[in-house]
Amino acid sequence: MGASLQDISRRITSTKKTRQITSAMQMVSTSKLSQIQRQGGQYHVYADRLHDVVAHLAEAHITNVAGTLLEQRPVKKIGFLLITSDRGLVGGYNSILLKELLARIEEHQLSKEQVVILAIGGNGADFMKKLGYNIAYEYRGVSDVPTFEEVRDIVKAVTSMYDNEVFDELTVIYNHFVSRISNEFRAEKMLPVSTDSFEKKTDSGLHADYEMEPSVESILAVVLPQYAESLVYGAILDAKTAEHAASSNAMRSATDNAKDVIDRLGLQYNRARQSAITTEITEITGGMAALE
C-alpha cells in the first residue's frame, strides 16, 4: 500500500508540473493574440485604401489585361496556398484545414498532377508531402506577429510562379479568426485577381471614364502586386490570429483537464491513505489482542 501511495503522489506532482506548463503556454498565446489583433487593426486601414483603388479600376472596366494578374487563361493546374501552423498544441486547427482541402480536391475531381501546393507552415507541407502532392513552394517559421516585409517575399514567389504558369489559378486555404473561442474555414480565390465583386459594389448605372498615364499596363503593374500582397498578408495575419486563439483554447483545456486529474488523484490518494491507516490500526489491535 505504501508503494501505491508513493506512485499516486508522484503522479500528482507530475500533473501539477504539467498544469504549470500549460497555464504558462496559455498566457503566452493570449499575449500573442492581443499583439496580432493590434497589428491587424493597422493593416485594415491600408487594405481598405488599396481596395478602393482597385474598385475604381473595376468601375472603369479595366479587366482581363494581358500580362497582368488580371489575365484570365485556361485552367490546367490549380494552386492551393495552404496556411497551417508549424507546431502542434493548437487543437483541431490544422486537421480542419487539411480535411477541407482534400474534400475540395475530391469535389472538383482533381488529380495530383493538376494540384500544386504552396505550403505556409510545416504541418500542411508535411501532410501533403506524405500524400504525394506536388509542393511547389514551402515556407516555415512565419513570425508570431507577421510583418508586411516578411509576406512580400512570399508574394513575389507566388506571383512569379503564376506568371511562369506553374499554376493557372490560386486559392488560399486558411482559418478565419471569428472570436477568441472560434474560427472558421475559408477558401478564397486569389489569382487571377477578379474585379467582379468590385463591379457589383460600384455599379450605379454611371461609370467613370479614366485617362491612364503613362499607361493602363504600367499602373496595373504597380497596383495589382500590391493588392496581391495585401490579400496574402491579410490571410496570413487572419490565420495566425486564429492559430493563437486555438493555441490559447487548447492550453486552457489542457490546464482544466490537469486540474481534474489532480483532484481525482487527490481523492484516490486520501482513500488509499485512509485504507493504509485502517490496516495499520487493525494490525496493531490484532497484535495487542494476541499478547493478552
Q: What percent helix, strand, coil does the chain show, rounded to 5?
A: 65, 15, 25
Instruction: Specify the 3-state DSSP secondary structure of 228.
Output: helix
Q: Which three cell numbers stand for residue 142?
A: 512565419
pLDDT confidence tier of residue 214, bands split at 50, 70 and 90: low
Pick 287 or 6 by higher pLDDT.
6
Residue type, 211: E
Q: Per-residue DSSP letters for 50-65?
A: HHHHHHHHHHTT--S-
Render pLDDT for 172-208 as a digit per residue (tens, 0 to 9).
Answer: 999 988 887 888 898 888 888 776 655 544 444 445 5
**Which pairing describes strands 169-179 and 182-191: parallel, antiparallel, or unpaired?**
antiparallel
Q: What is the pLDDT of residue 172?
A: 92
Q: H-type helices in 60-147, by residue range?
A: 93-107, 122-130
The residue ranges of every structural domain in the chain are 26-249
Residue type, 202: T
Report in angstroms the alpha-carbon separations of 25 from 28, 78, 145, 254: 5, 38, 16, 10
Q: What is the pLDDT of residue 197?
A: 57
Least reliable range by pLDDT among 18-27, 31-40, 63-72: 63-72
**Chain center to CA of 252:** 18
26-53 average pLDDT score: 78
pLDDT at residue 63 above 80?
no
Residue type, 115: V
State percent of the chain over pLDDT 70. Answer: 83
pLDDT, mean over the chain: 81
143-171 average pLDDT score: 87
Is the sign of the CA dihedral 41, 45, 46, 47 positive or negative? positive
Pick the CATH number of 26-249 from 3.40.1380.10, 1.10.10.10, 3.40.50.300, 3.30.420.40: 3.40.1380.10
- pTM for this one? 0.77
Using CA atoms, how far apart are residues 242 and 200, in angstroms rounded to an integer?
A: 30
